[in-house]
Amino acid sequence: MAEKRPIEKLRWRMAVLLFCATVINYVDRQALSVMASEITADLGLSNIDYSNILQAFLICYTGMYLLAGYLIDRWGTRMALAVSMVWWSIANALHAASRGGLSLGIFRALLGIGESGNFLAAEKAISEWFPPKERGIANGLVNAAAATGAILAPPLIVWIYTSWGWRFAFILTGGLGFVWLYFWLTWYWTPAKHPRITADEREMLASASKIVHRPLRWRQLFGFRQTWGLFLARVIADPVWWFYLFWLPKYLREDRGFTMVEIGLVAWMPYLTADIGSILGGWASGRLVEKGIEPLKARKLTMLPCALMMPLGLLVAYSESSIVAVGTICLITFAHMAWKTNLMTMTNDIYPTAIVGSIAGIVGLGSGLGGTIFTRITGYVVEGYSYKAVFVVMAFLHPIALLVLHSIIKGPLDQEAAPSQEQAYKAA
């Protein structure tokens, strides 16, 4: 059999695979929130019950971050993401068997266990396949995929729901992951092992990681200021995204009086602007890096205007106009995703590829922790008061997070303090 010819810029095919995995991740994750009002009514669940079910997902999602990051570094990106996809796809399909809050919470918890590996594996894959100047845009594509999944979910899920009911929606979306799995196992390998990579691309990627470091133990990763800076920034700011992901359709239905059809027509808009923010945020910091600005400084400069936009969220709380509210939410999701893309890319800028999975797990733990706490509080606030207080608090989380991040992270990890590629697997 003739040897297949090398493919130019093969790394962008890897980006497409990561994009598609994340789209599926978010379609599966959003299925419940899109149909929340109907499912909670069908199963006789209150807002607090719904909050507890969301917590089941978030607690398991958060708790698995550390283990998932460790396994990604140990197993490698290819195998770890494949296992993660199979697990969460089955868990999503099982939602169709729910008979009450307990069973729905159990299936939601299983979904959280599986989905935790997606972004961690994507961050490691980006470190493996992209040089520093392109990592911002690559991370932007992954974050855009999250928003794309959230865009596709409302019309797709509403269509399935109105045609066949909410249970079938989980079965159908759960099957998407197995289609993706074929392409992933066929195409994804590290640059050093990929049979279709060009010599120039392999050398370019190898030269980007030729740094010698001293060995570390996994627990020592907690000793770096950079780890805590990234962790705390995610704790403080990520609850904004979790809120819009899990509560937006329910908010539009209950507080703004939208019908299910109107939700299907409108709820995708904030995620479209989030898509745009992901791409532009990564592109903007990448352009600054190309102009010679140090990567961490470039990320922070891009994040600053995003943080300053977030207090506009007060308009959502106090405007009587649904058009103003939805428009402001679109601006907020744009700014958040531009922010998050650069925050995620800092992981690639600060740490060597061999431990990116473990670090991403620690930092991701902050995201899940913040989301878990905020979601719990949200359930009680909405049940006992209104959504208004939630929007007021969210308006100031990003400026606070940026101040914390800037005060803690002053530069990249000392090259002598981090492990080599070979040593890191022993240390992790």
Model confidence at 202, pLDDT cuts 50, 70, 90, reads confident
Check residue 355 and give its pLDDT: 77
> Quick check: 48 pLDDT over 70?
yes
Nearest to residue 347, comparing CAs of 339, 336, 355? 355
CATH topology for the 11-427 domain: Growth Hormone; Chain: A; (1.20.1250)
Query: Can you spell out the DSSP letters for 181-223?
Result: HHHHHHH---TTT-TTB-HHHHHHHHHTT--------GGGGGG
What value does the mean pLDDT take over residues 175-197?
Answer: 90
Q: What does the pLDDT read at residue 422?
A: 40
Q: Are 282 and 141 in contact (CB under 8 A)?
A: yes
The structure tokens 């690559």 sit at: 138
* pLDDT > 80? residue 413: no
Residue 424 has pLDDT above 50, yes or no: no
DSSP percent split of the chain into helix, strand, coil, nearest 5: 80, 0, 20
Highest mean pLDDT among 184-188, 372-376, 421-425: 184-188
Q: What whole-number distance in Å separates Cα of residue 51 and Cα of residue 33?
A: 11
| pLDDT for res 215 | 53
Model-wide pTM > 0.95: no
- Kindly state the helix (H) or strand (E) to which residue 249 belongs, with its residue range: helix 239-254
**Partners of 7 in the β-ladder:** 197
User: Cα–Cα distance between 293 and 287 in angstroms, integer?
Assistant: 9
What are the extents of the domains in the chain?
11-427
Choose between 227 and 206: higher pLDDT: 227
Per-residue model confidence (pLDDT) at position 209: 56
Q: Across all residues in the chain, what is the average pLDDT?
A: 84
pLDDT confidence of residue 356? 75
- Lowest mean pLDDT, pick from 178-182, 209-213, 242-246, 320-324: 209-213
Is it the case that residue 260 has pLDDT exceeding 60?
yes
DSSP assigned state of 197: B
378-409 pLDDT per residue, tens: 878 887 778 888 889 899 999 999 999 999 98
In whole angstroms, give the CA distance from residue 395 to residue 321. Answer: 18
On the question of pLDDT at 204 being above 60, the answer is yes
Residue 40: what residue type?
T
pLDDT of residue 419: 43
The mean-pLDDT minimum among 65-69, 106-110, 232-236 falls in 65-69
Confidence of residue 207 (pLDDT cuts 50, 70, 90): low
Q: What is the mean pLDDT of residues 198-207?
A: 81
Place of tokens 């807002």: 47
Residue 112 is predicted with a pLDDT of 92
Q: Which residues contact 382 (CB under 8 A, 6 or more apart)?
A: 47, 247, 390
211 in the Ramachandran plot: left (φ > 0), alpha (ψ -120 to 50) or beta? beta
Give the residue among 80, 63, 102, 37 at the shortest CA–CA distance from 361. 63
As a whole number of angstroms, the distance between CA 15 and CA 36 comes to: 32
DSSP 8-class letter at 7 = B
- For residues 207-227, b (16+ Cβ closer than 10 Å) or e, as one string? ebeeeebeebebeebeebebb
Please check whether residue 352 is in contact with residue 418, taking contact to mean a CB–CB distance below 8 angstroms: yes
pLDDT in tens, 296-311: 899 999 999 999 999 9
Q: Three-class SS of residue 3?
A: coil
373 CB-contact burial (10 Å; exposed 0-12 / middle 13-18 / buried 19+):
middle
| Residue percentage of the chain with pLDDT more than 90 | 29
Using pLDDT thresholds of 50, 70 and 90, give the confidence band for residue 428. Answer: very low
CA dist 178 → 84, 146, 174 (Å): 11, 18, 8
Query: What's the confidence (pLDDT) of residue 135?
Result: 82
User: For residue 331, what are its two tokens?
Assistant: 């601006």
Instruction: Give the pLDDT of residue 3.
Output: 59
Q: What mean pLDDT is predicted for residues 330-349?
A: 90
84-110: average pLDDT: 92
What's the rounded mean pLDDT across residues 322-335? 92
pLDDT in tens, 115-170: 988 988 888 898 888 887 788 888 888 878 877 887 788 788 888 888 888 898 99
End-to-end CA distance of the chain: 40
Write the secondary structure of 51-111 as one string of H (helix), E (strand) and C (coil).
HHHHHHHHHHHHHHHHHHHHHHHHHCHHHHHHHHHHHHHHHHHHHHHCCCHHHHHHHHHHH
Lowest mean pLDDT segment, chosen from 10-19, 38-47, 165-174, 326-335: 38-47
Predicted local distance difference test score (pLDDT) of residue 89: 94
pLDDT over threshold 80, residue 178? yes
417, 213 contact by CB (below 8 A): yes
Q: What is the tally of helices (H) and strands (E) in the chain?
A: 21, 0
Using one digit for the tens of pLDDT, what is the confidence trace for 79-92? 999 999 999 999 99
